[in-house]
Structures are given as C-alpha cells and as structure tokens.
Amino acid sequence: MLALKQSLSLPSLKPIGEYVPPNIDNLIAWYKNQAGLTFIDPVPPVLVPTVSVWEDSSNNSHDMVQATASEQPTYVAGALTFVSANQQNLQTTSQISLTGDFTIGLRIYPSVVNAGTFLADNTTGGELFKYTSGTRISIKIDASSATALDLDEGTFGDDYLIITRSSNVVTLWKNGVAQTGTTPTLAGTADIDAIGIRRTDTDPFDGTIEEILIYDISTADLIAKLNTRLASL
C-alpha cells in the first residue's frame, strides 16, 4: 500500500495560541512549532507519521523539505524527531545566508551526549552548529575553524537555546542565561541549508526539535522575547 502525502492542520498538543514573532521585518526564517508540516500518513504497523516538509512561516520561502522517505524525521508529541542512524534531515529550498549580526532561537532536545549537527550548510568545509558533548556546541562560520561554545555549568537537555552574533562576537544562551565562558569572535557568512545534518558530515543529529527562529539582527530586547517564547513551548 502506498503512503499518501497530506498537508494537515495538526492539533495543538500544547496551548501555544496565536503567536506573533517580534521584529518581524528581520525574521529570516521561522520553523514554527506544530505548524506548516506536510507528512506521510502512517501505514500499519508504522503508527508515527514522517515529515516531508516544514514550511517557513516567515513567508520568506526557506521551506525545509525531504523527499527520501527513509531520511524524513518523524512527528512525535508536537516535535520533529531525528535519528542519526537513518541520517534523517530536512533540506532548504532556498539557502539562508547570515552576513552580519544574527539571532538563532531553538527549542531542542538532544537524545545523546554528542548529538551531532542540528543546523548546517551543504558543503564539505562550510558552516555548522553541532553538539559535540554534553556541555559543548561546535560552531563553524565561513572559513573559520570549528570553535567551541561551552556551557558555564550543567549539561544540555530539553533546552531553549539562543545563539547570537553581535559585532562578530558569538554568544550561546541556555534557558535564558548567557554562557560567558566562551564567546569567540567569528566573522564571515553563516549559510544554512539543512536541519539535522551536514550532507558531508558524519555526525547527523539525534534528538527532537520543536521550533527554530532565525533573525538577521541581535538585540537584548529580541533575545528576551525569544527566551519567553521558547520557554513557553
């Protein structure tokens, strides 16, 4: 029996309401919680749908898609689940390029200690954002070497994360708290082509993602508002 592709208005599993993002003119891409999803109908004994499209709710047409069934993430309890063994991922239809300041907000939960790449471009030597341990995210921008963003304390879990670049200084925020131990200076263009993998990477992502917002600015007000949003999911 063939699986049927449907675009569904999925029921909310959490009371998220009608959220309007801040600084809408600077919102480059928005992969909204429980919205804009196209998935393959579950066919017994498979009871969980797989996601083939996660639309960009910013209306900037940076939709994330995956036509290969075995590489489609699954939709479980209001989140997209990625399994690294299956190299599950989504690829953008239009590259995101961040040339200056940026703010990236995520509600994300790595399922293993070194959970792998959650955002990246699609080249051998290009950009990536990757969990490399329970306390470290590795970031690579343009021609730079991979650089560590370390937690000041604790470990990663079911978190809301924000990664900012302001005047080339990169800062990681975990659950509303800036991690000030490592704040590298990284210039250049951060290109994003994929969620869950870098096509040439050996470290695809293991875990779940509920929402991603990407901006081409970084301000204290925006960070505060995104922390409030992501904490509510």
- Residue pLDDT, tens place only, 148-195: 999 999 999 999 999 999 999 999 999 999 999 999 999 999 999 999
User: How many Å apart are CA 130 and CA 139, to the nearest integer?
Assistant: 6
Alpha-carbon distance 7 to 151, whole Å? 39
pTM: 0.90
pLDDT for the residue 124: 67
By CB neighbour count within 10 A (0-12 exposed, 13-18 middle, 19+ buried), where does 20 fall? exposed
Residue with tokens 């989504």: 90
Give the separation between CA 172 and CA 197, rounded to whole angstroms: 20
For 165, the token pair is 């670049």
How confident is the model at residue 17, as a pLDDT? Answer: 56
Indicate the residue type of 155.
T
Residue 43: predicted pLDDT: 53
- pLDDT recorded at residue 153: 96
Low-confidence ranges of the chain (pLDDT < 70): 1-17, 43-46, 124, 143, 200-201
Q: Please give the pLDDT value at position 47.
A: 76
Domains of the chain, earliest start first: 25-231 (2.60.120.200)
Of 192, 100, 195, 190, nearest in space to 143 by CA: 190
Please report the pLDDT score of residue 56 as a whole number.
98
Residue spans of alpha helices (H) in 90-175: none
Measured on CA atoms in the order 57, 70, 111, 15, is the torsion positive or negative?
Answer: positive
Give me the pLDDT at residue 176, please: 98
Residue 98 vs residues 101, 105, 119: alpha-carbon distances, Å: 7, 14, 13
21 within 8 A of 29, measured Cβ to Cβ: no
- Which residue's entry shows tokens 């939960």? 109
Q: Residue 8 has what pLDDT? A: 44
